[in-house]
Amino acid sequence: MSCLLCGQSIKKDLTFRSLLLLKNKENNVCVDCLSGFEKISEEHCPNCMKTGVSTKCQDCQYWCKEGIRADHHAIFIYNQAMKDFFSRYKFNGDYLLRKVFASYLSEEFRKYKDYQFVVIPLSSERYYKRGFNQVIGLVEAAGYSYKDILGKREEKASSSKNRLERLATKLPFFIKNDVSIPKKILLIDDIYTTGSTANRIKRMLEAAGTEDVKTFSLAR
Ligand SMILES: [Zn+2]
Ligand SMILES: [Zn+2]
């Protein structure tokens, strides 16, 4: 088969290096492309996995003051290779790329056995433009399903707002009518930056009766 990212054929190569990198997993990406992605190192914020700090980071301190205890897990650093990946996957709409990290995600998701998965939704306008929700794509490619309990209203794109504006905006997400609220939720997004979206939805779900909400993203 050929690499989903560069198209070169993936040889069944059993060198020591490839076994280390791939951990013997079924992979859709060649070793060269994989080597561009960087896993989050051991030294990181204990609450949100931000790298470069080893104690609770500023963002998490902010959430703490807001009454939210960030409990986030991510796999990869949002580096250039990851930016390129998301620009092809999300903005060029290359839906096949949902499979690139499937084996990494299914390995992580296995750790959340008692949790119901909930995906951060797109507004319907955004959904129709892109044709798919990129997070649902990642979850389903990893072989998991999710509970469809959240919706999103259309709003000004968050990238055109500064950090304070983003923090101050009214949450555009809501819990759908007539859904049962799970006791334990793993709230999944593609990228975690300040944690504004994930942590505010976490607070909303906790207010609605969820006892334990952990958050998760592919990149951080
Ligand atoms: Zn490749
Ligand atoms: Zn943190």
DSSP codes of every residue in the chain:
-B-TTT--B------HHHHHHHTT---SS-HHHHTT--B--S-B-TTT--BT-SS--HHHHHHHHTT----EEEEE---HHHHHHHIIIIIS--GGGGGTTHHHHHHHHTT-TTPEEEEPPPPHHHHHHHSS-HHHHHHHHTT------EEE---S-GGGS-HHHHHHSPP-EEEPTT-PPPSEEEEEEEE-SSSHHHHHHHHHHHHTT-SEEEEEEEE-
Question: Which ligand approaches the C-alpha of residue 48 most closely?
Answer: 2
Report how far ligand 1's centroid is from the alpha carbon of 30 (Å): 4
Report how far ligand 1's centroid is from the alpha carbon of 163 (Å): 35
pLDDT at 193: 93
Report how far ligand 2's centroid is from the alpha carbon of 194 (Å): 9
Report how far ligand 2's centroid is from the alpha carbon of 13 (Å): 39
Place of tokens 């040889």: 11
pLDDT at 109: 98
Q: How many CA atoms lie within 13 A of 47 on its CB side?
A: 18
> Which residue numbers in the chain have pLDDT < 70?
12-26, 156-161, 163-164, 166-169
User: What is the Cα–Cα distance from 121 to 23, expressed in whole angstroms?
Assistant: 32
Question: Which ligand approaches the C-alpha of residue 28 most closely?
Answer: 1
Tens of pLDDT, residues 163-187? 667 666 688 999 999 999 999 999 9
Phi/psi for 202 (5° steps) reads: -55, -45
Which residue from 190, 115, 122 is spatially nearest to 145, judged by alpha carbons? 115
Report how far ligand 2's centroid is from the alpha carbon of 71 (Å): 9
Report how far ligand 1's centroid is from the alpha carbon of 23 (Å): 17
Domains (ranges, CATH) in the chain?
Answer: 1-35 (no CATH), 38-219 (3.40.50)
pLDDT at 27: 75
Question: Which ligand approaches the C-alpha of residue 68 most closely?
Answer: 2
Question: Which ligand approaches the C-alpha of residue 46 most closely?
Answer: 2
Contacts for 62 with CB less than 8 Å, ≥ 6 apart: 167
User: What is the Cα–Cα distance from 54 to 46, expressed in whole angstroms?
Assistant: 7
Report how far ligand 1's centroid is from the alpha carbon of 101 (Å): 13
Report how far ligand 2's centroid is from the alpha carbon of 101 (Å): 24
Give strand pairing partners of 117. 186
Report how far ligand 1's centroid is from the alpha carbon of 72 (Å): 29
pLDDT at 24: 45
